[in-house]
Amino acid sequence: MKDTALHLRHLVKPGQKLHLKDVDPGDTAPYKHKDEVQELLADDKRDLVELQELLYAEGKHSVLVVLQAMDTAGKDATIQHVLSGVNPQGCPVTSFKVPTAEEIAHDYLWRVHQAVPGKRMLGVFNRSHYEDVLVVRVHNLVPKDVWSQRYAQINAFEKHLTENGVTILKFFLHISKDEQKKRLQARLDDPQKHWKFAVGDLKERALWDQYMEAYEDALNHTSTPWAPWYLIPANRKWYRNLTVARVIVETLRGFKMKWPEPADDLSGVVIED
């Protein structure tokens, strides 16, 4: 049965003080099993394909989907599953890596702003400016007085974007430390997945608690009415995919878009043999 409030269930309410340890990454309410959602997910994906075409055709809005997560939580897989079937021309995906020399010579939002999707685009950030209050904080890459000012800067930046026609949806795909262990082990056990395994990821895993603290602060400081966070329980891949798809679909539906009128009067047009 379709839960019509699913897209609101995992919204981090602005102003709410959230404790990550109270959130169950294995939560799949109101569903118990993958089989219950297969059809729902297929419906959402079909709707998404149509709404994205409309977004592209109408050309009035742009949507920015931000994905953040610990390793193995499924940033890449979510993009692959949720956006499969969508016209790739309208869906630029940007992956943010360790900044280059040129990027680091600029302010941390410089590279981000350039990648913000333009009108008619549904753009995805695989990692984002949030790395600048996550990895950067955990590894002390800049002093605390520098990163701690960034929450307000990010809120102002995102407000600027939304006031200029960008709708921002931010997802934290939340897995448990145990689940990460299973997934890392699965990568280790399968030669086809070795390419995904970086020994350095184990160093990040060892810093799990510090990362959770950094995520908790980021969610609490930057879930705003104009750019809210969704805290997605991601231990179950099917629930993760369903909730992310649903939030995007409901957002696009909320635009109440219309197919554009043809540029020319088509009423008398006859196509000759």
Where does this chain bind ligand AMP (CB under 6 A)? 96-99, 127, 131-132, 135-136
CB of 231 to ligand AMP, least distance (A): 20
CB of 136 to ligand AMP, least distance (A): 5
For ligand AMP, give the closer residue by CB, 73 or 121.
73
How many whole angstroms separate alpha carbon 178 and alpha carbon 147?
Answer: 29
For ligand AMP, give the closer residue by CB, 96 or 226.
96
CB of 153 to ligand AMP, least distance (A): 14
Contact assessment for residue 62 and residue 92, using Cβ atoms and an 8 Å cutoff: no
> Of 270, 266, 232, 264, nearest to 248 (Cα)?
232
Which residue intervals of the chain are DSSP H helices?
Answer: 6-9, 38-58, 75-82, 101-104, 110-115, 135-138, 144-147, 150-163, 177-189, 199-206, 208-222, 237-254
CB of 97 to ligand AMP, least distance (A): 4
CB of 127 to ligand AMP, least distance (A): 5
For ligand AMP, give the closer residue by CB, 127 or 221.
127
> Closest CB to ligand AMP belongs to which residue?
131
CB of 120 to ligand AMP, least distance (A): 27
For ligand AMP, give the closer residue by CB, 206 or 269.
206
Pairing of strands 166-174, 229-233: parallel
How many whole angstroms separate alpha carbon 128 and alpha carbon 157?
Answer: 13
For ligand AMP, give the closer residue by CB, 20 or 93.
93
For ligand AMP, give the closer residue by CB, 11 or 207.
207
Contact assessment for residue 220 and residue 152, using Cβ atoms and an 8 Å cutoff: no
Task: Look at the alpha carbons of 144, 147, 148, 149 in this order and tell me if their dihedral is positive or negative.
Answer: positive
